[in-house]
Amino acid sequence: MKNKEKNQGFFSPSIFPKTRQAIFLAEETLKIVLAVIVIGFLIYFLVSLYFANSADEDLKFAEESLNFLVQQMNAKVEEVQIYNPKGWSILSWPYADMKPASCTDLGWENCLCICENPVGYTFEGYLDNCEGTGDTAICVENSFVVIGGASQAPILIENPAVTLRIDYDNKRISKKQ
């Protein structure tokens, strides 16, 4: 048996056979680490692509919902259901002498918007989100006032839907209780 081990050592290209195995181990470890990094970047890319598309989808829903509301108002319908985008709000401007730039730049005295809800639900936050920067709001010129609760306040679009009551005599939009 000793001669066989000597012969294997003699025909081996390395004097230290265990070091050769260590080199293979380092190569395989490097390949695994690189594969994990590449898979991590791929997952990050796919997740960011998904969220970018969902923001575009919410803005399309907001535009369609606002257009539907205006069409129903032109047809003098007294109750309108708005389904999308969930978690956004319907509100009217001006509020406390504040108005988004998207309305003032177009010369509108009053406007009706569907905007993404800000953190803290403050009117300053709504003003920032309703500026019409592209992915957080859609606005149209309209003289109706949105009454959420007892005063002028946003109406949250909830699941399954929010039913709006339109008062044409007083030019008010409120949530049906």
b/e sequence 6-34, b meaning 16+ C-beta within 10 Å: eeeeeeeeeeeeeeeeeeeeeeeeeeeee
Residue 107: exposure state from Cβ atoms within 10 A (0-12, 13-18, ≥19): exposed
User: Tokens 């001006």 map to which residue?
Assistant: 94
Question: Three-class SS of residue 167?
Answer: strand
Question: Three-class SS of residue 142?
Answer: coil
Q: Does residue 10 register a pLDDT over 70?
A: no
Entry field: residues in the chain: 177
CA 122 to each of CA 38, 119, 129, 142: distance values in angstroms, whole numbers, following the listed order? 42, 8, 11, 22
Mean pLDDT score across all residues of the chain: 76
DSSP code at position 144 = -
* 39-51 average pLDDT score: 87
Q: Does residue 4 register a pLDDT over 70?
A: no
Which of 37-41, 56-60, 148-152 shows the lowest per-residue confidence on average (mean pLDDT)? 148-152
Q: State pTM to two decimals.
A: 0.61
DSSP code at position 159 = S
* 162-167 average pLDDT score: 84
- CA 163 to chain centroid, in Å, comes to 23
Residue 6: band (very low, low, confident or very high) from pLDDT cuts 50, 70, 90: low
Question: Three-class SS of residue 52?
Answer: helix
Q: Does residue 70 register a pLDDT over 80?
A: yes
